């Protein structure tokens, strides 16, 4: 490629066109037909290099599908050992999770309940706050305030999760213990609260996007009827962008279920079938961390338990993510 871009290949293209012309000369005497043919040729013919590049790019795009497939394959491949020994039904309905004991019992319910409890606390904090911030930013705040506050909220999402874990264990828990003396050192409440604050930026930024995509004329219709900003926000904007807000909520829930370090640090490592937020619990993710920290040899049953737990976690988040994807697409298409 010397001179300016594309010189070489254009020369080649010209030559090809000339050859084609001379060949097809007697077929098409009509000059108009000839020029149509040239245009067709230009738009369909690709040089080898062009094709090669397209294939390389396609390969890179397909690579991402490869990741998903290999996640599923590896999870099932390594988890197979576990399901050979433990009945799937027993795994999903058992109430005791003690895989490291002498008489191990493999009921995943305590981990499910632990995850749901922490997620529930996180979500019940993050959803209202996230929604209020989103409504405020999209309907009330001036342009300048929004331009400052949005990047700051994005910065919050950039704080490493292990730092949030530090906050939960060494700041929030001691603080809560002053208010609730019977709170144990490891508990579900404090990581739940911290995680709630952590996922506020996700919820607020996606909801805000959905709300600002509601067209102005719909809002103006509401204002023309004499509605206040609050009435417009609650009765017009929120319903109109409902699928987007729902997508934001679901992404928030999915983040909370998959979050690892905060619960591994502050929720304790005790599988506990309880809904009491003051007691220590163990989540899916915390269990995986617990096993990984110890020296569990490859190929043992303990080793394959983390993959069995991983399968449950992966499919829960997969379901939530796909649901949220379609909801988000729905609002994007509508406006």
- 220 scored as a contact of other proteins (CB under 8 A): no
What whole-number distance in Å separates Cα of residue 234 and Cα of residue 197?
23
- 285 scored as a contact of other proteins (CB under 8 A): yes
- 183 scored as a contact of other proteins (CB under 8 A): no
Piece of 33-41, 72-80, 81-89, 116-124 that binds other proteins (CB under 8 A): 72-80
Residue 89 CB, shortest distance to other proteins, in Å, is 23
Buried b (16+ CB within 10 A) or exposed e, 263-294: bbbbbbebbbeeeebebbbbbbbbbbbbbeee
Judged by CB under 8 A, the residue of 32, 48, 62, 179 near other proteins is: 62
- 280 scored as a contact of other proteins (CB under 8 A): no
Which residue pairs, CB below 8 angstroms and at least 24 apart, start in 80-86? 80/304, 81/299, 81/301, 81/303, 81/304, 82/106, 82/301, 82/304, 82/305, 82/307, 82/308, 83/308, 85/301, 86/308
Which residue is associated with the tokens 């292990």? 162
- 47 scored as a contact of other proteins (CB under 8 A): yes
Judged by CB under 8 A, the residue of 15, 16, 46, 95 near other proteins is: 46
Pick between residue 133 and residue 188 the one whose CB is nearest to other proteins.
133
- 74 scored as a contact of other proteins (CB under 8 A): yes
Tell me which residue of 118, 207, 210 sits closest to 164, measured CA to CA. Answer: 118
The site string for other proteins over 102-141 (x = CB under 8 A, - otherwise) reads ---------------------------x--xx-xxx--xx
- 179 scored as a contact of other proteins (CB under 8 A): no
- 83 scored as a contact of other proteins (CB under 8 A): no
Residue 159 CB, shortest distance to other proteins, in Å, is 6
Piece of 32-40, 210-218, 222-230, 271-279 that binds other proteins (CB under 8 A): 222-230
- 213 scored as a contact of other proteins (CB under 8 A): no
Pick between residue 178 and residue 298 the one whose CB is nearest to other proteins.
298
Tokens describing residue 248: 């934001």
Pick between residue 1 and residue 102 the one whose CB is nearest to other proteins.
1
- 39 scored as a contact of other proteins (CB under 8 A): no
What whole-number distance in Å separates Cα of residue 81 and Cα of residue 38?
63
What whole-number distance in Å separates Cα of residue 61 and Cα of residue 315?
23
Three-state SS sequence of 311-329: HHHHHHHHHHHHHHHHHHH
- 165 scored as a contact of other proteins (CB under 8 A): yes
- 225 scored as a contact of other proteins (CB under 8 A): no
- 61 scored as a contact of other proteins (CB under 8 A): yes
| 296 burial level (CB within 10 Å; 0-12, 13-18, 19+) | middle
- 154 scored as a contact of other proteins (CB under 8 A): yes
Residue 271 CB, shortest distance to other proteins, in Å, is 17
Specify the 3-state DSSP secondary structure of 97.
strand
Any bridge partners for residue 132, and if so which? Answer: none
- 224 scored as a contact of other proteins (CB under 8 A): no
Instruction: Say how many residues touch other proteins, by CB under 8 A.
Output: 90
């Amino acid at each position: 490629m010397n001179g300016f871009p594309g010189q070489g290949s254009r020369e080649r293209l010209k030559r090809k066109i000339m050859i084609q012309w001379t060949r097809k000369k007697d077929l098409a005497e009509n000059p108009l037909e000839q020029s149509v043919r040239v245009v067709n040729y230009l738009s369909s013919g690709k040089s080898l290099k062009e094709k090669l590049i397209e294939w390389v790019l396609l390969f890179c795009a397909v690579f991402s599908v490869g990741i998903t497939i290999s996640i599923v394959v590896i999870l099932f491949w390594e988890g197979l050992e576990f399901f050979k020994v433990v009945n799937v039904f027993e795994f999903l309905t058992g109430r005791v999770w003690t895989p490291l004991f002498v008489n191990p019992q493999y009921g995943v319910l305590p981990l499910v309940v632990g995850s749901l409890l922490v997620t529930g606390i996180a979500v019940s904090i993050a959803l209202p706050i996230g929604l209020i911030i989103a409504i405020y930013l999209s309907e009330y705040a001036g342009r300048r305030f929004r331009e400052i506050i949005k990047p700051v909220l994005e910065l919050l999402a950039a704080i490493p999760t292990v730092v949030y874990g530090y906050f939960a264990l060494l700041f929030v828990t001691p603080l809560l213990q002053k208010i609730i003396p019977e709170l144990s050192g490891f508990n579900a409440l404090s990581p739940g609260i911290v995680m709630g604050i952590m996922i506020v930026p996700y919820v607020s930024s996606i909801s805000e996007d959905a709300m600002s995509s509601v067209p102005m004329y719909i809002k103006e219709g509401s204002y023309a009827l004499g509605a206040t900003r609050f009435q417009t926000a609650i009765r017009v904007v929120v319903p109109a962008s409902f699928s987007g807000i729902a997508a934001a909520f679901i992404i928030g829930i999915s983040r909370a279920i998959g979050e690892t370090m905060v619960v591994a640090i502050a929720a304790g490592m005790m599988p506990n079938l309880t809904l009491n937020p003051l007691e220590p619990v163990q989540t899916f993710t915390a269990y995986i961390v617990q096993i990984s920290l110890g020296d569990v040899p490859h190929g043992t049953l303990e080793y394959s338990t983390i993959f069995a737990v991983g399968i449950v976690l992966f499919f829960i988040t997969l379901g939530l993510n796909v649901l949220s994807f379609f909801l988000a697409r729905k609002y994007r298409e509508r406006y």
